[in-house]
Structure 1
Amino acid sequence: MLLLSDVGIAAGRYEVKIAQQQPQLQQATRAAAQQAFSEGKKLYQQGTAESLRQAIGSWEIALKLYRQVDDKGWEATALLSIGRVYSDLGEKHKALSYYNQALPLYRAVVGKRGEATTLNNIGQVYSDLGEKHKALSYYNQALPLYRAVGDKSGEATTLNNIGQVYSDLGEKHKALSYYNQALPLYRAV
């Protein structure tokens, strides 16, 4: 016959055992997320329409697992990666949905480089959709962030993207100014 105090002691041992297993479970979940993310990356690099769709599937699995372990940094990276694939596949509105989920995570947790990349990617989607002024708004938000973190490659890409938008808008002299700013940065990296 168990006394009430014995039940409390037994329950306490059970709680300790669960607490000890929790880090192991999180570690296993994180490892599974990394495996799924790596698989998605390999599929993405194959570059076929079929492999891109499969990459989305792998990254969706990784995303779910990163959310389970509350890893905001990798969650943002998975969202950005899925958005990139949808953009590559021409599904621009789906891409925007994922980029817009990634952006606040980068702003809150990860840092300026990820935020700049996401802003640049959103700008590219808007440019592809023909919304050139909206694209400029996002590129102009990305540019100072790339400069702040010293990312010359990102800065050059964004300057080039701004130049392309101005070229598309028929403002060739303005476009040339941005292309001329991008060129030495490309040469330096």
Structure 2
Amino acid sequence: MSKIDKNKKGVAMFDRTKWFLAGMSIALSVQLSQPVVAAVPVGKVIQTAQTSSNEAATALNEGLRLYQQGTAEAKRSAIVKYEEALKLYRAIGDRRMEATTLGSIGNVYSELGEKQKALEYYSQSLPLSRATGDRGTEAMTLTNIGGVYSELGEKQKALEYYSQSLPLSRA
């Protein structure tokens, strides 16, 4: 295949992608009953997602900084920042970071002694980490759930979660 043939193939692929994106934009506009001219350019959507991702990461890091201060007041403030990050990750559809953030919130509640609240957040994190294939977060979440059940005196239930976590941790 000559260089010209490869170029034609690349141009054709670009044209198909461009038409596909235009079609998706029109379909979305029709579905939302808005005129096509009101559709947001693809570049703007990507830029907005990147901005939101950066804002989410900033909020997550601020939450971690507060959490590391170790006081109950700082941990409560960390939860506020984590919730802010969670909202942004959900808005951009970053399910892996959503699972991580939910786990972080669960950790803070667990350390504050609010075990049932911690379980609520861990229980939201677990299916997300499984769905995204993030075995590290899945293993950590299972271990954290086991730890909460152990602290609640439910040793058999704790063992069940630890048993699920072990092979993932080894892998």
Taking structure 2 as the reference length, the TM-score comes to 0.77
Q: Which AA in structure 1 matches 2:55?
A: A
The Cα of 1:25 is off from its aligned counterpart by: 1.0
The residue that corresponds to 1:36 in the other structure is 59
Give the number of aligned pairs.
137
Choose from 114, 117, 120 the match for 1:91: 114
Given that 2:146 and 2:162 are in contact with CA atoms closer than 8 Å, whether structure 1 keeps it comes out as: yes
Structure 2 CA distance for aligned equivalents of residues 97 and 83 of structure 1: 7
Give yes or no for the alignment of 1:23 onto 2:46: yes
Write out per-residue CA displacement over residues 98-126 of structure 1, whole angstroms, 9 at most, x where no aligned residue.
Answer: 00000001111042211111000000000
Taking the TM superposition and a 5 Å limit, the aligned residue runs for 1:13-92 are 13-15=37-39, 17-92=40-115
- Letter matched to residue 167 of structure 2: P
2:156 match: 133
**Distance (whole Å) between structure 1 residues aligned to residue 37 and residue 160 of structure 2:** 57
- Tell me, yes or no, if the aligned pair for 2:115 and 2:148 is still in contact at 8 Å: yes
Q: CA deviation at 1:13?
A: 4.9
1:21 CA displacement: 1.3
**Separation of aligned partners in 2, 1:144 and 1:101:** 21
- Secondary structure in structure 2 of the residue aligned to 1:144: helix
Q: Match of 2:140, as an amino acid? A: T
5+ unaligned residues in a row in structure 2: which ranges? 1-34
Equivalent residue of 1:130, what SS?
Answer: coil
Q: Quote the RMSD (CA, aligned, Å).
A: 1.2
Identity of aligned residues (%): 55
Aligned residue for 1:142?
Answer: 165
Cα distance in 2, alignment partners of residues 105 and 19 from structure 1: 27
Distance in 2 between residues matched to 1:111 and 1:26, nearest whole Å: 21
Q: Could you tell me how far apart the structure 1 residues matched to 2:130 and 2:38 are?
A: 40
Cα offsets for 1:5-35 (capped at 9, x unmatched): xxxxxx55543x5333111111111111011
Would you identify which runs of 4 or more consecutive aligned residues in structure 1 move more than 4 Å? 11-14
In 2, Cα distance between equivalents of 1:110 and 1:42: 27
Partner Cα distance (2:118, 2:124) in 1: 10
Gaps of 5+ in 1: 1-10, 149-189
